[in-house]
C-alpha cells in the first residue's frame, strides 16, 4: 500500500462524535473500526485476506446483535435498517472477492465501505436507534 493510501486509511479512526451513548453498541462499533484499521496495516496478501475475513465475521455478528437490540426496543425502522446492514455485508463480500484478483483495488474498495458506509451509517441511521 502506498503512502497516500496509508494516510487515507488512518482517517478511519474512532471519534467521539460516533458515540450513540449506548455502551454495548458503541463498544462494538469501536471494535469494527479496530478490525478495519488492522486490514490497512499489512500488505501481505494472505494476511490481508485473513484480516478482512475477521472484519467480515465480526461485522455480521455486530449487525445481528444490533438488530436484536432494535427488536427489544421496538424500533419502527428495523426493516429499512436491516436492508442497509445487508448492503454493507454485500459490499464487504465483494471486497473479499476482489482481494483474490486485485489486492490494491480491494484496499480501496474496503476503504470506501468503511468510510462512506459504516461511518455514515453510524452517524445517520444508528443514531435513530432508541436509547436504552
The binding site for Fe ion (CB under 5 A) comprises 66, 126
Please calculate the CA angle 11-114-122 and round it to the nearest 5 degrees: 95
Which residue number is nearest to Fe ion in terms of Cβ?
126
Kindly state the smallest distance separating residue 66's Cβ from Fe ion, in Å: 5
**Is 122 within 8 Å of 18 (Cβ atoms)?**
yes
Q: Which is nearer to Fe ion, 1 or 78 (CB)?
A: 78
Nine-digit cell string for 20: 450513540
What DSSP state is assigned to residue 132? -
Kindly state the smallest distance separating residue 50's Cβ from Fe ion, in Å: 25
Kindly state the smallest distance separating residue 70's Cβ from Fe ion, in Å: 8
**Is 17 within 8 Å of 123 (Cβ atoms)?**
yes
Q: Which is nearer to Fe ion, 80 or 105 (CB)?
A: 80
Kindly state the smallest distance separating residue 93's Cβ from Fe ion, in Å: 17
Cα 99 to Cα 50, 51, 103: the distances in Å are 11, 11, 4
Q: Which is nearer to Fe ion, 3 or 131 (CB)?
A: 131
Q: Which is nearer to Fe ion, 6 or 24 (CB)?
A: 24
Amino acid at each position: 500500500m502506498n503512502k497516500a493510501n496509508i494516510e487515507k486509511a488512518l482517517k478511519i479512526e474512532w471519534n467521539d462524535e460516533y458515540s450513540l451513548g449506548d455502551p454495548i453498541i458503541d463498544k462494538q462499533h469501536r471494535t469494527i473500526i479496530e478490525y478495519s484499521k488492522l486490514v490497512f496495516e499489512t500488505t501481505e496478501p494472505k494476511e490481508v485476506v485473513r484480516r478482512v475475513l475477521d472484519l467480515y465475521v465480526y461485522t455480521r455478528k455486530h449487525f445481528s446483535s444490533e438488530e436484536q437490540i432494535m427488536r427489544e426496543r421496538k424500533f419502527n425502522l428495523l426493516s429499512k435498517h436491516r436492508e442497509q446492514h445487508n448492503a454493507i455485508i454485500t459490499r464487504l463480500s465483494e471486497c473479499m472477492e476482489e482481494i483474490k484478483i486485485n489486492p490494491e483495488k480491494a484496499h480501496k474498495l474496503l476503504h470506501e465501505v468503511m468510510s462512506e458506509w459504516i461511518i455514515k451509517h453510524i452517524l445517520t441511521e444508528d443514531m435513530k436507534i432508541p436509547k436504552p
